[in-house]
Amino acid sequence: MKKTLTAALTGLATILGAQSALADKLNIGLLLPFSGVYAALGTEIEAGFRLGLEHFGDDLGVDLNIIREDTEVNPANGLARARKLVMQDRADVLVGIVSSGVLGAIRDFVHGAQVPLIVANAGNDEATGERCSPYITRLSFSSGQVNRPMGRWMAEQGITRVYTLGADYAAGRQMIGGFTETFTAAGGEIVGQGWTPFQQTQDFGPYLAQARASGAEAIYVFYAGGEAIAFVNQYDSFGMAETMPLYGSGFLTSQLYINAQGESANGVITALHYVPTADNPENVAFIEAFEASIGRLPSEYGVHGYDAARALTDAIRAGARDRASLANALRMTSFDGPRGATSIDPATNNIVQPIFVYETVTGETGAMTQNILATLPAEADPVNGCAMPAPATN
């Protein structure tokens, strides 16, 4: 009897101890690529996230303990690292994920473990569509959201025949798919498509040669990170700009690497949810702070991290202190940020935000910059098969 009572009291003390530990410290598992073709993206997201915590993380009443893990842009490693962060490090929330392939691989684990995940890049449509979860909230973009407006916009410019090229994995397929859907619905024709092996293509020459032979009026592509730098440089060397202008989703000419592309990127027209030249007071303040702390202009990846920190700190400030309450509060995120009015659609947990069509041009200082051609109104994604209960509001 005495033994049982002691055991019960010890158990109670452990539970109370765990509760008070939860109340004054939250573990954040930062799960990003720090190696592979998207390593620079991971580093930039982390820089934005830490800046956001500095700006919005005062007076939270809890310590935030960041534990970093490298996905290596590899779905199996990403899943192993997610498990480690949740099971071993007891992460209260996960932040990150750059690749749609990694997001697809960890979705069931995150949902089953009931740990909130703030997606700070990966556009995988399914994660806020048919595989949505009350535990997954996306502060970045969805693949369809960035590319569908561009299909309509290019058709409006009178372009009718397009060749597409993309990295052959979930993001490439979905981004090109979103563009194709609206472009063909507006009467455009896709005259041919090429898919380049993801993370394995150094020479885009054979693919560019096929695009050139197709007789299309324009080429539309999805590439990001190291692949985007190589692709834009090789497209320029092929001398195709005169005959077949280059369009794409705006990761192609991200601020993060446009100066590595230099003049090769001049004249490329793309669409994205953030450009540093976006004219709003929050963006001006954000750019000033990012430049002061990191020493260069931010890109969309920096904004994803910064806004993820803002959403997380808003949730904590609203009283969320454990996995369930954090997940619930994150779904109610809404603020004016560097991209303009930014909110989460609780029907899908995807972000709602405007899309900018922009041309990359050589700026007055000689550095490359973005000339905004159109600001397309914010649109919530269709629910795409997502069914989940509304967040609790009390």
Sequence-distant (6+) residues with CB within 8 A of 29 are 67, 69, 82, 85, 86, 89, 91, 93, 94, 95, 96
Q: Which is nearer to ligand PHB, 146 or 159 (CB)?
A: 146
Among 116, 123, 151, 337, binds ligand PHB (CB under 6 A): 123
Binding-site string for ligand PHB from residue 231 to residue 270, where x marks contact by CB under 6 A and - marks none: --------------------x-------------------
Q: Minimum distance between the CB of residue 231 and ligand PHB, rounded to whole angstroms?
A: 13
Q: Which is nearer to ligand PHB, 56 or 257 (CB)?
A: 257
- What Rg do the C-alpha atoms of the chain give, in angstroms? 22
The rounded distance, in Å, linking the Cα atoms of 219 and 242 is 12
Q: Of residues 34-53, which lie at the interface with ligand PHB (CB under 6 A)?
A: 38
Does residue 98 interact with ligand PHB by CB under 6 A? yes
Does residue 224 interact with ligand PHB by CB under 6 A? yes
Among 28, 53, 85, 122, binds ligand PHB (CB under 6 A): 122
Binding-site string for ligand PHB from residue 153 to residue 182, where x marks contact by CB under 6 A and - marks none: ------------------x-----------
Q: Which is nearer to ligand PHB, 188 or 250 (CB)?
A: 250
The rounded distance, in Å, linking the Cα atoms of 378 and 386 is 20
161: region left, alpha or beta (phi > 0 left; psi from -120 to 50 alpha):
beta
The residue nearest ligand PHB at its CB is 224
Q: Which is nearer to ligand PHB, 124 or 370 (CB)?
A: 124
Query: What number of chain residues touch ligand PHB (CB under 6 A)?
Result: 11
Q: Which range touches ligand PHB (CB under 6 A), out of 28-36, 88-96, 97-105, 385-393?
A: 97-105
Q: Minimum distance between the CB of residue 150 and ligand PHB, rounded to whole angstroms?
A: 14
Among 27, 43, 74, 100, binds ligand PHB (CB under 6 A): 100
Q: Which is nearer to ligand PHB, 29 or 248 (CB)?
A: 248
Does residue 330 interact with ligand PHB by CB under 6 A? no
Alpha-carbon 358 to chain mean position: 18
Q: Minimum distance between the CB of residue 138 and ligand PHB, rounded to whole angstroms?
A: 10
Does residue 31 interact with ligand PHB by CB under 6 A? no
For binding to ligand PHB (CB under 6 A), which residues are involved?
Answer: 38, 98-100, 121-124, 171, 224, 251
